[in-house]
Amino acid sequence: MEDEEEEEEEEEEYEEVLVDEEGNEIVEDKNEDVEDKNEEQEETQEQVEDNIVPEEEEEEDEVPFEEEQEEQEDPYRRRFLLSSFSEQDAKRFDAQNRKFAPVKLQGLEDGDYDVSYRAGVDESVSGVANVATPPVVAQLRKPYVRSRLLATWKQRGLDAETAFAAGSVERSLSQQMSAYTDVFFAGQTYENTAVLRRLSAMHVLNHVLKARDTVTRNNERIKRRECGKEDAAQDDEEKEYHDQGFCRASVLVLLPLRSAAVSFVNQLLELLPANMDTFHNKDRFFNEFGSAKDEDDEDEDSSSDDDGKKEWQRVFEQGNNDDCFQLGLSFSRKAVRFYSEYHHADVIIASPLGLRQQLGDEVAVLDEAENPMDVKLSSDFLSTIEVCIVDSASLMAMQNLDHLRTVLKATNVQPKEAPNADFARVREWNLAFLASYFRQTVVFAHGVEPTLNALVNKTCRNLSGVVKYVRRYDAADGSASISRVVPQVKQIFQRIDLDHTGRLTAKDEVELRFAYFKKHIFEPLLDHPRKKVLIFIPSYFDYVRVRNLFNDTMNKKLIRSVQCCEYTTSKQVSRARTTFFHGHCHVMLYTERFHFYHQYQIRGVHQLIWYGLPVMGDFYAEMMNLLPSADTNSSHDDGFADSTDGKSSIALFTRLDLLRMQRIVGNKRAERMCQAKAAKPTFLFC
């Protein structure tokens, strides 16, 4: 018995120790536990402060009748608090034949942009009759901005009326965004990107503060009602208290690079009201994402360095170019928290790739489903998005447009579970999973592309309609790319679809282009081999097909080619450029995405073949300026086969290339060259 008691005493003396796989003791970091507890306490305190309405807000509840009537006209209130929308209404809305029609906005400078509008819901749907605001009406209404925001903006000269001149496209965009109309702006440039981000930041901040203030005010009303401080008549106003969705996050901002996220966040911080001066995890954000360039340094270097740089070179030199990131921002009455969990965040800032990884493989079912509304996802943080900003969509298309398409499809999809939802406060159309009809989508792009048009048409179902701004191009004012070509060389544009009398689909065009290239360019090149020929190929899939064609001839030792694509290693690129410059090969195959990311100056180009027109119009002038001036004594002007002496370019195009052709030769010329029954198949510019 004594031995057993001694063993029990010895066992009691041992302490439980954590060890790793190698048997080493793991020392717990008490500081981390303290930090976690502090963060939890801070979040709890913020939630408490957020639910407390100060005296100023309590006074706002007792506003005069005239001001209450004026508040009813606020697009946010009419759209998200006073609307009723059912599944039958959605079916009726989807059945409408809605197409884009040109509109003329008063005050907008003529000739710069073509503006068109796809109408929203009509008056037959009574529950949302006041939601749709045509562009002409939207520009006549005053903006509804939270008073504490507007006071700060006016003090700093950042409000729309002060910062944007009347008649400017920026003022017009601000008016359309304030009306919660979908916006597709296809006129983004490096120079106006900062202004566009300020516009979107102003709209996002105004929307978030309205949503948070509405929830906070209704929380206080419910508390007063429970305490018996309100009349029974006011108790019946339950409709106002349907002010939430399944998740707190209401804004999604999609950006292509971390440097772009830094730029957008800086705009947000500059627009914050004066009382919002506390920031959590701000230093961590700038450490991980990088900081924006100092404005003074930019002013000193811009005149000397940026003048000789191309647009996309300047974009990639702004900071961190990582394209996989995601971030949650939450706003309380006096603080902003970075890296908030999505269930507690108001704004989600992410790249398409970052969100695609967060969503996982589950979203693959969206591509297979006939109706996305029938699909349920485990992730609920995108289910209540009310405003979606897509910044630099053209850059995202160069990265991978499928990621952007998947994210937009997954937005406002029915969640399997909503653990953080207060269903007594969820709006009725959210419960019916019709939030996609109330979502506003704003897309900024450097130009119109069929893929972007299809993306907007398929994913934007806004009840307020869609307004589209398309930039006009003209060689006379220098906006068309062909006006920036320096060498005096023959520029031949060859129409390849005139013999195709039926309806030309994208699939037909791919086969038609390859057949024409093989017969009229590849085979003559085999018969009369020449060196220093560069073939520019926009699509990687077309590049693979052309590469295999040249590889077969290389096996027969008829012609030698080198390749530069987005998957070519740096060592292979260096070898290919050297081989091409010294004339040790005949042809270089060169993809647009490779040029987009690297912007190499390819030396020794004598002949430039455009398998297809570039997506980025500026690339046409950049590649053409690689050519030396043509021999003026050369008299050959019959196209590729006869232009052996002089330096020249030949571009293949079809009627489906109208949008790309506009950016190269201008709108008027492009319409004449791409019309269904063109007078001739060949167009020559010198």
DSSP result, 91-152: HHHHHS---EEE---TTSPTTTEEEEEE----TTSGGGTTT---HHHHTTSPP---HHHHHH
Residues 59 and 189 in one domain: yes
Q: Can you give the pLDDT at residue 130?
A: 76
- Exposed e or buried b for every residue in 656-666, given b needs 16+ CB within 10 A? bbbbbbbbbbb
Is the predicted pLDDT of residue 17 greater than 50, yes or no? yes
Q: Which amino acid is at 469?
A: Y
- Across all residues in the chain, what is the average pLDDT? 83
For residue 43, name the pLDDT band (cuts at 50, 70, 90). Answer: low
For residue 630, name the pLDDT band (cuts at 50, 70, 90). Answer: low
Mean pLDDT value across residues 554-583 = 91
Which helix (DSSP H) or strand (DSSP E) does residue 348 occupy?
Answer: strand 347-350
Check the CA dihedral 44-46-50-52 and report its sign. positive
Read off the tokens for 676.
Answer: 């269904």
Read off the tokens for 333.
Answer: 């009455």
Residues 500 and 444 in one domain: no
Is the predicted pLDDT of residue 177 greater than 80, yes or no? yes
Look-up of token digits 């398929």: 458
Q: Can you give the pLDDT at residue 38?
A: 56
Cβ atoms of 315 and 391 within 8 Å: the answer is no
On whether residue 20 sits in a domain, the answer given is no
Residues 273, 60: Cα–Cα separation, whole Å: 18
Residues 147 and 215 in one domain: yes
Helix (H, G, I), strand (E, B) or coil at 320: coil
Indicate the length of the chain as a whole number: 686
Is the predicted pLDDT of residue 651 greater than 60, yes or no? yes
On whether residue 549 sits in a domain, the answer given is yes
Cβ atoms of 318 and 259 within 8 Å: the answer is yes
Q: Can you give the pLDDT at residue 322?
A: 94
On whether residue 13 sits in a domain, the answer given is no
Q: Which of 582, 584, 589, 549 is nearest to 566 (CA)?
A: 589
Q: Can you say how many angstroms the Cα of residue 625 is from the centroid of all Cα atoms in its chain?
A: 30
Give Rg (Cα) of the chain. 30
Please enumerate in sequence order all residues whose Cβ is within 8 A of that of 656, keeping only pairs 6 or more positions apart, or say none: 450, 497, 504, 506, 509
Q: Can you give the pLDDT at residue 298?
A: 46
Please enumerate in sequence order all residues whose Cβ is within 8 A of that of 126, keeping only pairs 6 or more positions apart, or say none: none
Is the predicted pLDDT of residue 294 greater than 50, yes or no? no
Is the predicted pLDDT of residue 63 greater than 60, yes or no? no
On whether residue 339 sits in a domain, the answer given is yes
Q: Can you give the pLDDT at residue 232?
A: 46
Helix (H, G, I), strand (E, B) or coil at 186: strand
What are the residue ranges of helices labelled H in 274-359? Answer: 282-289, 295-302, 311-316, 352-359
Is the predicted pLDDT of residue 11 greater than 50, yes or no? no
Residues 80, 386: Cα–Cα separation, whole Å: 9
Tell me phi and psi for residue 651, to 5 degrees. Answer: -120, 130
Residues 407 and 505 in one domain: no
Q: Can you give the pLDDT at residue 646?
A: 61
| Half-sphere exposure for 485 (CA within 13 Å, toward CB) | 26
Q: Which of 54, 340, 326 is nearest to 217 (CA)?
A: 54
| Domain limit, last residue, from 443, 471, 499 | 471
Is 439 or 527 the better-scoring residue by pLDDT?
439
Mean pLDDT value across residues 496-506 = 83
Residues 218 and 327 in one domain: yes
For residue 643, name the pLDDT band (cuts at 50, 70, 90). Answer: very low
Residues 261, 407: Cα–Cα separation, whole Å: 17
Residues 182, 383: Cα–Cα separation, whole Å: 18
Q: Can you give the pLDDT at residue 633?
A: 44
On whether residue 621 sits in a domain, the answer given is yes
Residues 262 and 179 in one domain: yes
Cα dihedral 577→579→580→581 (10° resolution): 80
Residues 492 and 451 in one domain: no
What are the residue ranges of helices labelled H in 628-679? Answer: 658-665, 667-673
| pLDDT, tens only, 76-126 | 998 998 888 989 888 888 888 889 999 988 767 667 899 999 998 887 777
Mean pLDDT value across residues 192-197 = 95
Cβ atoms of 515 and 655 within 8 Å: the answer is no
Residues 405 and 490 in one domain: no
Question: Which domain covers residue 670, as residue numbers?
Answer: 481-685
On whether residue 303 sits in a domain, the answer given is no
For residue 53, name the pLDDT band (cuts at 50, 70, 90). Answer: very low
Q: How far is CA 235 from CA 54, 58, 84, 187, in A?
A: 22, 17, 20, 50
Q: Can you give the pLDDT at residue 207?
A: 96
| Domain limit, last residue, from 471, 489, 512 | 471
For residue 263, name the pLDDT band (cuts at 50, 70, 90). Answer: very high
Residues 192 and 159 in one domain: yes
Judge residue 44's burial from the number of C-beta atoms within 10 Å of its C-beta, 0-12 exposed, 13-18 middle, 19 or more buried: exposed
Cβ atoms of 356 and 298 within 8 Å: the answer is no
| Domain limit, last residue, from 439, 471, 503 | 471
| pLDDT, tens only, 350-362 | 999 999 999 988 8
Please enumerate in sequence order all residues whose Cβ is within 8 A of that of 685, keeping only pairs 6 or more positions apart, or say none: 482, 490, 491, 492, 493, 665
Q: Which amino acid is at 451?
A: T
Q: Can you give the pLDDT at residue 250?
A: 95
Q: What is the phi-psi region of residue 319: left when phi exceeds 0, alpha when psi lies from -120 to 50, beta otherwise?
A: left
Tell me phi and psi for residue 96, to 5 degrees. Answer: -70, 140
Measured from the Cβ of residue 354, the count of other Cβ atoms closer than 10 Å reads: 23
Q: How far is CA 410 from CA 87, 323, 472, in A?
A: 19, 19, 33
Q: Which amino acid is at 648?
A: S
Tell me phi and psi for residue 332, to 5 degrees. Answer: -110, -170
For residue 27, name the pLDDT band (cuts at 50, 70, 90). Answer: low
Q: Can you give the pLDDT at residue 280?
A: 96
Residues 386 and 446 in one domain: yes
Mean pLDDT value across residues 223-238 = 61
Cα dihedral 198→199→200→201 (10° resolution): 40
Look-up of token digits 């009723």: 84
Read off the tokens for 540.
Answer: 């990687």
| pLDDT, tens only, 478-487 | 899 999 999 9
For residue 14, name the pLDDT band (cuts at 50, 70, 90). Answer: very low
Residues 529, 660: Cα–Cα separation, whole Å: 31
Q: How far is CA 320 from CA 257, 399, 469, in A?
A: 7, 15, 30
Q: List the CATH number of the domain containing 522.
A: 3.40.50.300
Residues 303, 263: Cα–Cα separation, whole Å: 21
Measured from the Cβ of residue 362, the count of other Cβ atoms closer than 10 Å reads: 14
Q: Can you give the pLDDT at residue 173?
A: 94
Measured over all CA atoms, what is the biggest interatomic distance in the chain, rounded to whole angstroms? 117
Read off the tokens for 364.
Answer: 């693959």
Q: Can you give the pLDDT at residue 18?
A: 53
Q: Can you give the pLDDT at residue 650?
A: 96
User: How many domains does one find in the chain?
Assistant: 2
Tell me phi and psi for residue 121, to 5 degrees. Answer: -70, 145
On whether residue 186 sits in a domain, the answer given is yes
Residues 503 and 424 in one domain: no
Tell me phi and psi for residue 337, to 5 degrees. Answer: -115, 125
Is the predicted pLDDT of residue 516 greater than 50, yes or no? yes
At residue 480's C-alpha, the angle toward residues 671 and 565, to 5°, is: 100
Look-up of token digits 């914050």: 272
Is the predicted pLDDT of residue 46 greater than 80, yes or no? no
Residues 346 and 445 in one domain: yes
On whether residue 563 sits in a domain, the answer given is yes
Is the predicted pLDDT of residue 183 greater than 80, yes or no? yes
Identify the weakest region by mean pLDDT among 194-208, 269-283, 409-423, 448-462.
409-423
Check the CA dihedral 55-57-60-62 and report its sign. negative
Mean pLDDT value across residues 441-465 = 94
